[in-house]
Amino acid sequence: MAQRVAVVTGGMGGIGEAICMRLAKAGHQVVATYSPGNTRAGQWVNDMKARGCECNTVQVDVTDFDSCQKAVAKIQSEAGPIDILVNNAGITRDATFMKMGKSDWDAVLRTNLDSVFNMTKPACNGMVDRGWGRIINISSINGQKGQFGQTNYSAAKAGMHGFTKALAQEVARKGVTVNTISPGYIGTKMVLAVPKEIMDTKIIPQIPVGRLGKPEEVAALVAYLCTEEAAFITGANIAINGGQHMY
C-alpha cells in the first residue's frame, strides 16, 4: 500500500486514537488534530511512539473555518498533500428537547457537523486535482435511529451522512470516495465509565452479539475504506453496531 498523508480529527482519544494507530501501522503518515486548550499533545505523541506508532499532531478549532484552513495549510506544508481525511471529532451535550438550551444545540452542531465542512473544504480540492482521496465521516447509530435526549447529536450525526451522499456524487469520477461509518456502543473510556448495572441491564441486552464493540474494530473498517480495494465503495453508511440497529 502506498504511504498516504492521513488526518484524523479528534484523534487523541477513544475511537480516534485507535484509527490513528491502525492507519500508522498500515504505513500512512498520520496527523491527529487536537483542540485548543489540550495540553497533552506532546505526551500523546511520545506514548504513541512507545507503542510503535509514529504520529504527528496539529492544533485546530474544528468549529472555526479559518482555523481549519490554517491547520490544513500547515499539514500540507509540513507533511504533504492530504490524501485521507477522517472526520471523527465530536461532543455530546445531552438533554431532552424541552430542557435543551440553544448553546447545547449550537455546540454540538458546530463541533459534530460544521467541522465536517470546515475540514473537508480545504482538503477536498487537492484530492480531486490529484485524482485520489478518501473522506470518512464517523457518525453514530443514533444518527440512524435517533436517541432520547439527543436531538442535537442525532441531528448532527444524521446530517453527516447527508453530506456524505451529496459530496460522494460530486467527486466519484475524480477518484475520491466519501463514506460514513456509524458505530454503536464501543468500549471507549467514556462508555466503560457507565455503571456496571446499567451496562448489564440496559445496554448489552440491546446488542445481539452480546458485547460492546472495540475501537480497533472501527479502526479496521476505516483502514479498509482507505485501500485501493475499497475504491468502489462511496456514498455508503456502514453500520458497525453488533446488530443493535438493522435497516
Residues serving a catalytic function are 153
Q: Which amino acid does the sequence have at 228? A: E
Closest CA to 111 of 60, 182, 62: 62
Distances (CA, A) of 74 to 24, 37, 82, 83, 219: 20, 19, 11, 15, 25
Spatial separation of the C-alpha atoms in residues 154 and 144, rounded to whole Å: 8
Q: If you count them, how many residues does the chain have?
A: 247
Spatial separation of the C-alpha atoms in residues 101 and 183, rounded to whole Å: 27
Instruction: Decide: 243 and 209 in contact? Cβ < 8 Å.
Output: yes
Cα dihedral 18→10→162→67 (10° resolution): -150
Instruction: Decide: 136 and 221 in contact? Cβ < 8 Å.
Output: no
Closest CA to 116 of 41, 44, 166: 166
Phi and psi torsions of 86, nearest 5° = -110, 110
